[in-house]
Structure 1
Amino acid sequence: MLKKKLLKQARGIEKADKVFKNAIYVDVFNERLMESDIAVADGIIIGVGDYQAEEEIDLSGKIVIPGLIDAHLHLESSMTNVDHFARAVIPKGTTTIVADPHEIANVAGLTGIKYLLQAGKAQAWNFNLMLPSCVPASEFEHSGAELKAADLKTLIGEEGIFGLGEVMNYPAVINGESEIWSKIEMAAELFKDGHAPGLLGKDLNAYLLAGIAADHEATTAAEALEKISKGMYIMIREGSVTRDLVSLLPAVNSSNSSRFLFATDDRHPGDLIDEGQIDFAVRKAVQYGLSPLRAIKMATINAAEALGIKKLGAVAPGYRADLLVLDNLRNFEVEKVYKDGKLVAENGTLLKSIDDQISLTQDNFSSKEIEEKIFNSVKIGNISEKDFKLPPAKKYRVIELIKEQVVTGESFYQTESEYKTEPLSIELIGHNLVKLAVVERHYRTGNVGLGLLRNFGLRRGAVATSIGHDAHNIIVAGLAAKDMELAVREIEKMQGGLAIVVDGIVEETLALPVAGLMALKPVKEVASRLNKMRELANNLGVNRDGPFMTLSFMALTVIPKLKLTDSGLFDVNKFENVELVIE
């Protein structure tokens, strides 16, 4: 970012375009506060010192810090479109994001990636989109797409395409399997993101030969320290499902703090509204003993350097003028957000009209391919009520929910009587069981995987969602087969969403027409509807704060132990399908 034409402004011989007068800014390199004017021209900082400008903004001792960077997230987890997500997070100070679109890519392939890329580039932030490395996540279920290295390569060079998304299949990496290595080699010159929970020792050594730079899956200080010792950066993840900040902070010290940064991974609507985003991670880190200056450094320059983004993340000459104005570091409440020196948000509001930017509405995308793959992505085959009835048996295999974990266990259910049909609902309730089904929704196969789930708590009705990591087939939990089928039908009618059905009546829904993953409503409205649906689910007996979130992980075949896909029960440890009926 060479700017020869700005030399005279930088030297103070000519007036700058804009000067923030009387600022107290955070020097992230030395972790200290400095009092100075900040001069800006052509969207970059041209100097700190005593400056004059055509436009002068007196900050009267307010604190200025660089814009915050979220190093790894999935936009789809916000359950709203990109435009509304931007309206929620930019006013909170996030001016740079690195998004992995593997959720929408598992539904719509390259079309989904291009769709998010178009919408993301239209917002007032630095938008970086990763090429998902694992689509599909598993060969044991029906995903909406399969992306090989040759497919991903067609997007390299597109504005906004940044790197290779989290490499989750680390066994394939360390065993040298050709498919994943072809993607790694294809992205040789790009940033490569890691996903290697618990991977240590010689296997970690092998994994790092792939040039993977960072990991957001470390959950203990010991794991973080080993990975740092081998050259990795550690993204301290503070999401909605997985919150690792408190357990990882003890690993941060003066010698290694430059190797830590923040990421949200999955942040859901209610948490975005109630807590925030990267700003929340900074506040929480300070609450648990990290100095505010170090926390800001981790959220800015550390992230930029880990990601390899030059001239971003500092208040210094030549750096992008992405600046936040705060009243103090104690509360860390963002008052104003400047992107490239221009005011884009103030007092929690993004300063643009609803028509200023492209949003993820059907009207903005006239492509027949997008219409078919994004807005008509739910294609249910020939199913009926009988598909949601258990086969008669004496003993069944059961998925065992574990409190506050996405890891599941395996248990068994012995019936109290010999049934010629499925066990009675009242008996299932007595054993704290519900039926669980996964319905294929990409190719009209009519596949329905059926199982039993313990500890969900539901005593009436059915709860269903089209968010089902990572293939995103429809997942429904219930007791009456009729209610379960109706809930699936309702999701088909909405072209994706959440539904609660009780005694044959659709009680509550939330439409997610963007690939069955995202709404076309503001984050606050989505959060409000989710709260209402959660309360209803709890009234029906569900004992989980996030019933839909819980269900969404029941089909994820890369997390132990027992999961359910549209092809049936799957033992993750054995990596094979297993039978529902034992005897």
Structure 2
Amino acid sequence: MGETGLGLRESYRLSAVSGTPTLVIRNGFIVDVITGGIFESNVEVFDDKIVGLTKEERSSRLVVDARGGYVIPGFIDSHIHIESTMLIPQELSKILIPHGVTTLMADPHEIANVLGLKGIELLVEMSRSSKIRVFIQVPSRVPTAPGLETTGGELGEKEIEMLLERDYAVSLGELNYQNVLRDPAYVNRINISRRYRKRSNGHMAGVLEEELLNMLASTGLTDDHEAVSAEEAFGRLIRGIAVFVREGSSERNLADVLKGLRNKIRDYRLLMFCSDDKHPTDILREGHIDYNVRKAIELGLDPLVAIQMATINPAIYFRVDDLIGSITPGRKADLVVVDSLEKLNIRTVVFNGEVVYHEGRLLFDSPKINLPEWAVRTIRLNPGLKQDDLLLKTSIEKGRALVRVIEITPGQILKRELLEWLKVENGIVLSDLNRDILHIAIVERHKGLLNVGKAFVKGFKLRKGAIASSVSHDHHNIAVVGVDALDMYIAVKRLSEINGGFVAVSEGRIVGEIPLEFAGLMSIRRYEEVVEDLTRLNNAVRSVLGSELSNPFMQLEFVSLPSVPELGLTDRGLVKDYKIVEPIIEVSS
């Protein structure tokens, strides 16, 4: 996705010779993210690039009247997992373009954990025919927790370096700080990234200690999207670690980070916005990076600073400001016309020199996608799997067991470890609805192994039934939570039949599902169908199963993550501090 100087000169030469830009935006005020100012000017575009800022009235093949509005650069998401939207790039662009988002810095480690290098290459190829610009943060940890989980794909040093060489790669994808501290192989990957002048994304959830932050910065981690407070963000910023302020579906950190920073810092150049993981229903309901900008302004941030955080800051940080991030000649013509800088009501979006959205209407469609068979048939359950394999068993027939319980935090991916006594009957530890303690299991789905990690979870508030997902970070085995084993088993088996996705079951009956046939992570259907199914499914989980969570499946996706404190669950078992721990601490008969 790189550009040559010759190509830029040729665009300007052709424009100058013909005297006719292909597009002009008139009667607008340019938001200059370079100087932090605003000035009146027309924007001239030839093909896919900006070629002039002028007050001259030149003829053009196409004219957009800004009607006194503001012209700002297209928004950039500094860190996103496309797979978490459940949409392929062609469909995702349809819901992001109306929100002014034209560029994604995407870490495809979800698809890599299922399909490896060829999965990444397929996703990149798809993005080329979409109306959104995609740069890649090369997955650094596939698998995330070697020896603690089973994945379908793996990326070694050879594959990582091969990807870092490519011009569409902007960084080494997020590295767990624990891996960096414990394994020299990860430090070597950072050094390879440096050699190619690429950034190295961090994953520093829960890190506050000065000594640890110093060590991580010295080792070469250059940013973090896991800061959940102003204190955490400030500790990173003063050490030169960029902070991606996150506002996704289940991780909402923007207010907690920005409110406390306003009185601590004057320079925002190392602050930018990201979504990380956001479901399409939330994007359609509230927005995407435009929502982050709007919310930051509502919290008191200067509108120009908030817009810089969504445009030029990430462009400079990722060293692609020669291509995107500002309204300056030679840059890609990714432009957004808004009515005001506070409300950011978007009138027109230009992507790559093409008007793709105007006055509430999308002006493009996406081609039908056909996936290769290897990208669809990714759910391989062991045929010997039985329903009681999903339950935690003990050495006693009847009595009590002291167990570790994963407590989820609504709206966050952080989890707490609780110790609770539960009843044992017929050698099985029972769930406890009165205390909202439910069964949870992770079933291996990549290689047909009979691996099942079992534990208990608190916070889903199901009164009956089960929910299951083939999206479970980062190993993407099947995660299932439920009140009883039969419904859990039915949900798991149904996922195998539909090639992955989300399923809800109650009293032996499937009450809702979404097929995600691309690696069990994404759908190739139109976004309208996916959103409709997801809305119906979430409503069923609330009304039929009794959950009070606004987004139960997004919450379920992160319970399994072994790299986020305090507990994670994989097909190999319960993980704490990167070690497998026993879910049962003691029993009493």
Q: Is the TM value for this pair above 0.5?
A: yes
CA deviation digits over 1:426-453, x for unaligned, max 9?
A: xx32443222111110111111222222
Q: Does 1:378 align with 2:383?
A: no
Equivalent of residue 167 in structure 1, options 169, 175, 181: 175
2:49 paired residue among 40, 44, 53: 44
The Cα shift of 1:291 comes to 1.9
In the TM superposition, what is the alpha-carbon distance from 1:32 to its structure 2 partner? 2.5
1:80 pairs with 79, 87, 94, which one? 87
Paired positions, count: 566
The structure 1 residue matched to 2:157, chosen from 149, 163, 188, is: 149
Asked whether the equivalents of residues 461 and 479 of structure 1 are also in contact (C-alpha less than 8 Å), the reply is yes
Which residue of 2 is the match for residue 340 of structure 1? 352
1:300 corresponding residue in structure 2? 311
Residue 457 of structure 2 is aligned to residue 453 of structure 1 = yes
Does the 8 Å CA contact 1:398/1:454 hold for their aligned counterparts? no
Matched residue SS, 1:450: strand
How much does 1:581 deviate? 6.1
Q: Which residue of 2 aligns with 1:387?
A: 389
* Distance apart, 1:221 and its partner CA: 2.1
**Matched residue, 1:22:** 27
CA distance in 1, matches of 2:162, 2:434: 55
Q: Does 1:310 align with 2:318?
A: no
State the AA in 2 paired with 1:513.
E
1:350–1:162: structure 2 CA closer, same or farther, 3 Å change rule?
farther
Aligned partners of 1:497 and 1:512 also within 8 Å: yes
Are 2:451 and 1:442 aligned? no
Match of 1:34, SS?
strand
Please say if residues 269 and 524 of structure 1, whose CA atoms lie closer than 8 Å, have aligned partners that are also in contact: no
Structure 1 residue 7 displacement after superposition: 6.5
2:247 is aligned with 1:238: yes
Q: Which moved more, 1:37-46 or 1:94-103?
A: 37-46
Which residue matches 2:301?
A: 290
- Taking the aligned partners of 1:42 and 1:354, their CA distance within structure 2 comes to 20
Measured after TM superposition, the shift of residue 316 of structure 1 is 2.2
- Residue 91 of structure 2 contacts residue 366 of structure 2 at CA under 8 Å; is this kept in 1? no
Q: Aligned to 2:584, what secondary structure does the other structure show?
A: coil
Aligned with residue 40 of structure 2, among 17, 28, 35: 35
TM-score, with structure 1 as normaliser = 0.90
| Paired residue secondary structure (1:155) | helix
2:223 paired with 1:218: no
Aligned to 2:188: 182
How far did residue 164 of structure 1 move?
Answer: 0.9
Structure 1 unaligned residues grouped into runs of 5+? none
Distance 1:408 1:59 in 2: 48
Q: Structure 2 vs 1, CA of residues 20 and 149 (structure 1 numbering), >3 Å: closer, same or farther?
A: same
CA spacing shift, 1:410–1:45, aligned 2, 3 Å: closer
Q: Which residue in the other structure is 1:140 paired with?
A: 148
Cross-structure match for 1:268 = 279
Shift of 1:412: 4.0
Return the alpha-carbon distance in structure 2 between the equivalents of residues 376 and 574 of structure 1: 30
Show the counterpart of 2:556. Answer: 551
The 2-side partners of 1:309 and 1:21 are apart by 27
In structure 1, the partner of 2:105 is 98
Residue 218 of structure 2 is aligned with which of 209, 223, 242? Answer: 209
Q: Distance in 2 between matches of 1:578 and 1:32?
A: 59
Query: 1:130: which partner in 2?
Result: 137
Whether contact under 8 Å (2:472, 2:560) holds in the other structure is yes
Q: Which string of whole-angstrom CA distances, capped at 9 and with x for unpartnered residues, describes residues 256-275 of structure 1?
A: 12222111111112111101
Deviation, 1:66, is: 0.9
Call closer, same or farther: CA 1:430–1:315 in 2, change over 3 Å.
closer
Q: Which region of structure 1 is more displaced relative to structure 2, 452-461 or 101-110?
A: 452-461
Q: CA deviation at 1:54?
A: 3.1
SS at match of 2:586: coil
- How far off is 1:512 after superposition? 0.9
**Structure 1 match to 2:573:** 568
8 Å Cα contact 1:162-1:191 kept in structure 2: yes
- 1:432 maps to 2:436: yes
> Are the aligned partners of 1:437 and 1:449 in contact in 2 as well (CA < 8 Å)?
yes
Cα deviation for residue 183 of structure 1 reads 1.7
Is the 1:8–1:14 contact (alpha carbons within 8 Å) kept by the matching residues of 2? no
Q: 2:131, 2:22 → 1: CA distance?
A: 20
Structure 2: how far apart are the matches of 1:310 and 1:574?
Answer: 38
Amino acid aligned to 1:30: T
CA shift for structure 1 position 413: 4.2
Does 2:403 align with 1:397?
yes
Structure 2 contact 79–276 (Cα < 8 Å) conserved: yes
Task: State how far apart, in whole Å, the 2-side matches of 1:203 and 1:171 are.
Answer: 10
Partner of 2:124: 117
The unaligned stretches of length 5 or more in structure 2 are none
Task: Measure the CA separation in 1 of the matches of 2:335 and 2:554.
Answer: 35
